[in-house]
Homo-oligomer: A and B are copies of this chain.
């Protein structure tokens, strides 16, 4: 964990290092993934059988080996404790409502030249969702990926998920039931992503693939970008808390730890204008961390990547926050609105003292799949738009073409494209 003070003479250098620190694995799996994709493309299901046996000790023989039936998801849902089921339903309802408000409007208008212009949005036909097996299989993550696809209007939503030795997570199945997932395939890894992108005998090709995964899965998506649409490359999670000294240090410590407990590569940063408060938070992090069942991961993350930054006044935090372009930014101050005005680069902002980031992970409604690793500079959280695409259209009659066509003819000739010009000139004769 680092302690930085904006008044220190080497602050600028240290902060730049913090911004530029790489937490992502640089492990090069590109070649391996390339080979896996080629093999699935060429051999289809046979390649999946082979890789599943090798990587997951899972034999794909019967239909039940290959997929999990909707009835099994329904059974998992029915088997949940009622309060957990209600919590999942509340989360799903709120996520659905937020994403419904996100649906884009079509446009259709006629301009002064009498030219009719517009654009229509359509869902993709089919989407694939990667769901990790084991520890990283979160029902909340399934809801956050699947519900936007369904709200977008995607007719076919197929999940791929590894089931090592046949095991699957009942909470994830229950979430699949709630979200209305259409197919669940018991394959994981880069080969599962290849199956979704290229199609095999059993698994029909999809148009867009989203969802988190390990380095192989992420690399497979990257290599298949263009064959299918994908969501943004995901890196380790991060939180930036901007807090004044009037907060309960225990609350802020818990917020920092909620990020740290995700993964040793997670990053938690506090920026405050109160040096005493920073020290109190540091103490509370230590005390709380020692009691956490997840303390090993949380400690490792906090020690390696955590930071406490003391600035002279709160406004000084904003340019620093814009450079960090963090996935999550909490503004635990009296007037969070004023600070938000200057905050241009952030995945999601949590306004005020009563909005811990974790509430956004589960039930607030906005998507928790957010840009990481400074990518909020240019990327957005997952949305219905990731499962839709836009078709523009142009219409005019001869008088419209007479108005704007001659300019196009000029430009076509200037660009050395005479058939372009001819296609307009013939109609204007």
Contacts and interface: CB of A to CB of B under 8 A. Distances in A.
Interface of A: 83-84, 86-88, 90-91, 94, 97-98, 101-102, 104, 107, 109, 111, 113, 115-117, 119, 122, 124-125, 135, 138-140, 171, 207-208, 222, 225-226, 228-229, 232-233, 248, 250-251, 254-255, 257-258, 260-262, 288, 292-294, 298, 336, 340, 343-367, 370-371, 375-381, 383, 385, 389-398, 400-401, 404-408, 410-412, 414-424, 426-427
B426 A254 contact: yes
Contact of A404 (B119, B232, B359, B406): B359
B411 A229 contact: no
Contacts of A352: 395-397
A389 B380 contact: yes
A294 B385 CA distance: 40
B122 A391 contact: no
Nearest to A107: B101
Contacts of A350: 393-395
A389 B382 CA distance: 11
Given A349-B391, A426-B250, A405 B375 contact: no
Given A138-B415, A226-B375, A358-B420, 6 more contacts: A87-B408, A115-B364, A225-B225, A294-B416, A377-B389, A385-B385
Nearest to A207: B378
Contact of A117 (B366, B398, B404, B407): B366
A394 B364 contact: yes
Contact of A419 (B226, B257, B371): B257
Contacts of A262: 417
Contacts of A117: 98, 364-366
B229 A398 contact: no
A383 B390 contact: yes
6 contacts: A94-B113, A98-B117, A257-B419, A355-B396, A359-B401, A359-B404
B404 A94 contact: yes
A128 to B, nearest CB: 11
Contacts of A208: 378
Contacts of A347: 391-392
A389 B365 contact: no
Contact of A351 (B111, B360, B395): B395
A421 B232 contact: no
Contact of A395 (B87, B336, B371): B336
Which of A288, A367, A414 counts the most B-chain CB atoms under 10 A from its CB? A414
Contact of A356 (B358, B411, B418, B424): B424
A350 B392 CA distance: 9
Contact of A260 (B232, B371, B392, B419): B419
